[in-house]
Amino acid sequence: MFPAEFRIRDVAIRPATLLAPMAGVTDTVFRRVIRGLGGCGLIMTEFTSSEGLAREAARTLHYLDFQPDEHPIAAQLFGAKPAVMAAAAALVQELGFDTVDINLGCPAKKVVKCGGSGLLRDLPLVAEIIRAVRAAVTIPLTIKIRSGWDECNIVATEVARLAEDLGVEAIAVHPRTRIQALTGLADWSIIRDVKQAVKIPVIGNGDIHSPMDAERMVAETGCDAVMIGRAAATNPWIFRQMEQYFLLDRGAGNAVPGNNCRDASRQAIGAAAVYDEPSESGRYELLSQYFRSLIESGMPDALGKMKHFACWFTHGVHNGAQLRHLVHSARTPAEVLDRVDSFFAAALTAG
């Protein structure tokens, strides 16, 4: 059964679901959309450069902006200098984050030279960074890893054991190598291997697109929680859908112990009927509200963010390619809003 809750030391995360950190996507405005829709246990910032915080705090600090209604919230940091990472983590704690996370997974060329998955080739340095950060903060410390640099160097369980020994309190595993980036399939057997290697909570990540995928990941790997990235950008309702799906699960299990009512209900009403799909007007509301909030928040490069988000979100919209084109060819945020309004006005009237 899907876990209703898990804990990172004293931080209770209910339900056991996390929004994955996604650079360019999971800023404070998007995270609040996810919070507002419900069903997500822990949200995380996009990765934030520890060097950037040390060198040009004013330009980098906005990555760590958050609002009180985002709790519980984790901040993710990247970097390869132990002292600089420690100072950044101390700042994260001072800002009021519930937990701090070290990025050991980013595959981008610019990042692997100074952190991210590049560190998976230098475990002594990983240990030094963890030690320094651990000594700098009292809030819970987590790491997010890939399986290794390439298929000949799978180090996930080794890193997990090392991290646990050094006081890391949960580990998120995205089981692709750095070389794979986001290609191929995530190898969930590596999540299972990590879960069997350590006692701290293990968060499974990679290729969850539906509540049923999440259920399968927990069953196959024994992970304590699941983390969702791309599917949250194409379908921000996914956490709420999981909550609906798993509530039915628990209700059925409680009603008739030992009897898989859930499967019977699914057969009776069809799998899709166990959670709500967003309506076209729901999609319109979400998109226009999100875009309006981006403008109101004064977020740097609101237009760029609107275009980026449109690439994800419009895949779920009827005639999404047309909407994508309309957003991409707009020259100002106000023009994007006008176009979104007219697109949905026409679609909703026709529908």
Ligand X SMILES: Cc1cc2nc3c(=O)[nH]c(=O)nc-3n(C[C@H](O)[C@H](O)[C@H](O)COP(=O)(O)O)c2cc1C
| CA-atom Rg of the chain in angstroms | 21
Sequence-separated (6 or more) residues with CB below 8 Å from residue 180: none
* Least distance to ligand X, CB of residue 16, Å: 15
Dist CA 226 CA 223 (whole Å): 7
Query: Applying CB under 6 A, which of residues 20, 43, 73, 337 lies at the interface with ligand X?
Result: 20
Annotated catalytic, 114? no
Instruction: Confirm or reject binding of residue 103 to ligand X (CB under 6 A).
Output: yes
Identify which range of 5-13, 17-25, 56-64, 86-94 contacts ligand X by CB under 6 A: 17-25
Task: Tell me whether residue 46 or residue 243 sits nearer to ligand X (CB atom).
Answer: 46
Instruction: Confirm or reject binding of residue 42 to ligand X (CB under 6 A).
Output: no
Instruction: Confirm or reject binding of residue 89 to ligand X (CB under 6 A).
Output: no
Q: Find the catalytic residue in 40, 106, 261, 311.
A: 106
Task: Tell me whether residue 102 or residue 200 sits nearer to ligand X (CB atom).
Answer: 102
**x-marked contacts with ligand X along 171-190 as a string, rule CB under 6 A:** ---x----------------
Instruction: Confirm or reject binding of residue 208 to ligand X (CB under 6 A).
Output: yes
Question: How many CA within 13 A on the CB side of residue 283?
Answer: 24
Bridge partners, residue 171, by sequence: 143, 202
At what angle are helices 28-37 and 238-255 packed, to 10 degrees?
30
Q: Is 346 left (phi over 0), alpha (psi -120 to 50) or beta?
A: alpha
Instruction: Confirm or reject binding of residue 46 to ligand X (CB under 6 A).
Output: yes
Sequence-separated (6 or more) residues with CB below 8 Å from residue 76: 21, 44, 45, 46, 47, 48, 100, 101, 102, 103, 144
Instruction: Confirm or reject binding of residue 24 to ligand X (CB under 6 A).
Output: yes
**Binding footprint of ligand X on the chain (CB under 6 A):** 20-25, 46-47, 76, 103, 105-106, 144, 174, 205-208, 228-231
